[in-house]
Structure 1
Amino acid sequence: MNPNNSIKRPFALLASGVLLLLVIPNSAAAQAACPPGMIPYGTGTDVSSCGPDGSQNQGTNASTSIAPAPIWQSRWGAIATYAPTGVLGVSTYLPTRDQAIQSAIADCKAKGGPTCKLEVAYDNECAAVVVGSTGYNVAADPTLGGAIDSGMETCRSSGAEGCHTYYSACSLPVRVR
């Protein structure tokens, strides 16, 4: 047996064992640098950042989660008049039709109308009072412009002169979620 061979062999085993020990701790340290569910991103052994490993979000994409649908509550408005003296009572943004009507009639009476008449109760839309030389009309529409346009068209088509918007308002739904 050659004494040189026996020395070289254990040295070779020792050298490969040391090399193996040097590699294992480095890769373990790289894995330990990121929290669970994350993997290292970087070049070579330089771990500069961590990112998701994708195993926890299979089948879903967290960045595109869907928010719950909004919930809306209706809001009511009303217009009441006492035509002989031109008194106008109004209400907006009330939760029920009855409250809107009562409030508009109370407003009309508070302004001097002894027997006020309900002209319109509307929810989630707009209303306008248009006045011309021969009288007035009340119109409601989903948009303020639509209510005004409708009232102006009615006024003009009646042959009245000086048609103009006397009052307009909206009672639109309120988002509660």
Structure 2
Amino acid sequence: MKLKLLLLLCMLSLSAASYAEGGCPPGMIPEGGQGVMSCRPIPGYDQGQGQSRPQAPPMRWASKWGAIATDTPTGTLGISTDASSQDEAEQKALEDCQAKSGSKCKLQLSYANGCGVMVLGNKGFNTQTASTLEGAKKSGMDMCNAESDGCHVYYSGCSLPQRIQ
């Protein structure tokens, strides 16, 4: 007899708990009046209880640099791409120019997280940079065509940022 009474009490407590829940999913509580019932979030339910979704870590990017150097009298071009700093990119471009027999190499352009071009025309050259290769080429060609004939892109290169996280 005692066992039946204990079993009956357990069943009543379980049904009362499910009734109090009101059929709402975890993290929600019943709300409403006569004949109207809805669920609303429990304030602060997912704060510090491990119930919230883990957030992805923020993306991190490493800047990359490029540079162009020339020895104009000899027509020597030195370049660098994907360097970790502006100083490194400029130094590598000057070294590349000198390694190609340039004796009076001069830095023309350095750029970060984008593209650089050298455009030649009948009356000289120009260097331009932009966030895209198309933008740098257009800028260089527009400048050259305004001052010269026979313009063409002689060199183009990009140093785009690299995702590190």
Selected match of 2:126 from 130, 137, 160: 137
Q: Specify the alignment match of 1:149 in structure 2.
A: 138
After TM superposition, give the deviation of residue 53 of structure 1 in Å. Answer: 4.1
**Is 2:40 the counterpart of 1:59?**
no
In the superposition, the TM-score normalised over structure 2's length comes to 0.70
Paired residues in the alignment total 141
Aligned 8 A contact 2:67 2:89 in 1: yes
- Tell me the distance in 2 between the aligned counterparts of 1:139 and 1:62: 48
- Tell me the distance in 1 between the aligned counterparts of 2:111 and 2:82: 10
Larger Rg: 1
RMSD (Å), alpha carbons: 3.2
Query: Helix, strand or coil: the match of 1:165?
Result: strand
Selected match of 1:174 from 141, 146, 162: 162
Q: Specify the alignment match of 2:74 in structure 1.
A: 85
- Tell me the distance in 2 between the aligned counterparts of 1:126 and 1:111: 22
- Tell me the distance in 2 between the aligned counterparts of 1:156 and 1:77: 25
* Structure 1 segments of 4+ aligned residues over 3 angstroms from their partners: 17-22, 52-55, 59-63
**Is 2:102 the counterpart of 1:113?**
yes
Q: 1:167 is aligned with what amino acid?
A: Y
After TM superposition, give the deviation of residue 120 of structure 1 in Å. Answer: 0.6
After TM superposition, give the deviation of residue 62 of structure 1 in Å. Answer: 3.5
Structure 1 residues without counterparts, runs of 5 or longer: 1-13, 29-51
Deviations 1:54-106 (A, max 9, x none): 49x9236634x432221222111110001122111000111111111110011
What does 1:10-89 correspond to in 2, within 5 Å? 53-54=26-27, 58-59=45-46, 62-63=52-53, 65-89=54-78
Quote the sequence identity (%).
45
Query: Helix, strand or coil: the match of 1:84?
Result: coil
Q: Which has the higher helix share?
A: 1
- Tell me the distance in 2 between the aligned counterparts of 1:134 and 1:101: 26
